[in-house]
Amino acid sequence: MTSDPVRLGVAGLGRAFMLMVPTFDADPRVKLVAAAAPREESRAAFVRDYGGAAYETVEELCADPSVEAIYIATPHQMHVDHVLAAAQAGKHILVEKPLAISMEDAERMVRAADEAGVHLIVGPSHSFDPPVDLAARLIESGEFGQLRMIQALNYTDFLYRPRRPEELRTEEGGGVLFSQAIHQIDVVRRLAGGMAKNIYAMTGAWDPKRPTEGAFTALMSFETGCIANLTYSGYAHFDSDIWMNDVGELGQPKKAGAYGGARRALMNLNPDDEARLKTTRTFGSGTTIEASHNEHFGPVIALCDRADLKLTPDGIEVFGDTERHFIEAPFGPAPRRTVLDAVVDAVRNDTAPDQTGAWGLASLEVCHAILTSAAAGQPVDLQHQCRTKHEEPTE
């Protein structure tokens, strides 16, 4: 029956899965029936909390006939092998951003899903956030005229959260580009209709102990004429959540006195100690985030002909020609319900969201273009962009 919950398997029980747990637990449309993880402690915790089966390998998970779709929450460099295995097994796929590290792998993944006739969804990413969706629909309606410019800013402690060694190596998907820029890119592309033309960027790698990009700024143009400025720093100094009503990225109220906590936690740790500290954030060891607002990715302002739209965790502040008002984006019942909306619509109704494999490929292209532009000191033209569903031409 189409009303039956989607039977979902989980590949990887680390931090990414932990951030989805509150949504899985709150949404009856999806049932977790199996998992794969290398750590026995995580597998035991999954069976204890959800029942079903727990495997050591993703290949065993893909072979489980009870699984309809697989959520791939493994490290970036493993996405390609795990997506290919899931597609070959005929499972629909939700894969964490970024889709892959290399463009070649991403293209293989999109092609494999298409050939297998399964849906490939890339997320969670902040383009799924209800305020982003609301702002995109307001822009698409034309109520405020044409979208002219977008400013997206975010200042976090990302680079000083516990990391495995490869997470500090750009060539292995480390740094802020593949894990963080991808969010800003997805948000801006969603608001602007998807079809970016080119990008000019500069990056910063300023801490020899964290030898990867920790900051970037970029100017991106779109075929509609919209221009977008994206700026991000993960160097754990200024915290732009103070511009978001002291609501954290995951929708949680920020704790007073927490400033500097990320850097303090890493003081005097060697790489092995830091990697062990990261395991305390995984399923079976860590705790989940209690959200009371929608998630966000820092301040975003969309400038239209007749209004500027400021995205907040709770909705959209509209600054019109003569009046200012607020449009709510309701929170709940699940923090990331829109991600599961996409999964359920894909599996039960054969309806794809904006964030398909092709969308993920297009956003990944922008990440690589930022690196290329920064190295060359020149703008880079984009060749693999795609439109949002609203902007796709109709026959």
User: Residue 391 has what pLDDT?
Assistant: 65
- 288 and 158 belong to one structural domain: yes
Segment 249-265, tens digit of pLDDT: 999 999 888 899 999 99
Tell me, letter by letter, the H, E, C secondary structure of the chain.
CCCCCEEEEEECCCHHHHHHHHHHHHCCCEEEEEEECCCHHHHHHHHHHHCCEEECCHHHHHCCCCCCEEEECCCHHHHHHHHHHHHHCCCEEEECCCCCCCHHHHHHHHHHHHHHCCCEEECCCHHHCHHHHHHHHHHHHCCCCCEEEEEEEEECCHHHCCCCHHHHCHHHCCCHHHHHHHHHHHHHHHHHCCCEEEEEEEEECCCCCCCCCCEEEEEEEECCCCEEEEEEECCCCCCHHHHHCCECCCCCECCCCCCCHHHHHHCCCCHHHHHHHHHCCCCCCCCCCCCCCCCCCCCEEEEECCEEEEEECCEEEEEECCCEEEEECCCCCCCCHHHHHHHHHHHHHCCCCCCEHHHHHHHHHHHHHHHHHHHHCCCEECCCCCCCCCCCCCC
User: Residue 273 has what pLDDT?
Assistant: 83
- 329 and 340 belong to one structural domain: no
1 inside domain: no
User: Residue 257 has what pLDDT?
Assistant: 87
Q: Is the peptide bond before 98 cis (omega within 30 degrees of 0)?
A: yes
- 200 and 118 belong to one structural domain: no
- 102 and 169 belong to one structural domain: no
387 inside domain: no
- Name the pTM for this structure: 0.95
Each of the 395 residues of the chain gets a pLDDT tens digit; together they read 457 999 999 999 999 999 999 999 999 999 999 999 999 999 999 999 999 999 999 999 999 999 999 999 999 999 999 999 999 999 999 999 999 999 999 999 999 999 999 999 999 999 999 999 999 999 999 999 999 999 999 999 999 999 989 999 999 999 999 999 999 999 999 999 999 999 999 999 999 999 999 999 999 999 999 999 999 999 999 999 999 999 999 999 998 888 999 999 998 888 888 877 877 777 777 778 889 999 999 999 999 999 999 999 999 999 999 999 999 999 988 999 999 999 999 999 999 999 999 999 999 999 999 999 999 999 999 999 999 986 665 44
- 26 and 171 belong to one structural domain: no
Structural domain for 12, as ranges: 6-126+336-355
- 253 and 171 belong to one structural domain: yes
Segment 163-203, tens digit of pLDDT: 989 999 999 999 999 999 999 999 999 999 999 999 999 99
- CA gap 124, 355 in Å, rounded: 9
Residue 117 region by backbone torsions, left for phi larger than 0, else alpha for psi between -120 and 50, else beta: left
- CA gap 123, 117 in Å, rounded: 19
User: Residue 279 has what pLDDT?
Assistant: 74
389 inside domain: no
User: Residue 394 has what pLDDT?
Assistant: 45
- CA gap 241, 246 in Å, rounded: 5
Residue 375: which CATH number? 3.30.360.10
The answer to whether 327 and 134 have CB atoms below 8 angstroms apart is yes
394 inside domain: no
- 272 and 344 belong to one structural domain: no
- 299 and 186 belong to one structural domain: yes
289 inside domain: yes
- 77 and 158 belong to one structural domain: no
- 112 and 213 belong to one structural domain: no
Count of domains forming the chain: 2
- 276 and 235 belong to one structural domain: yes
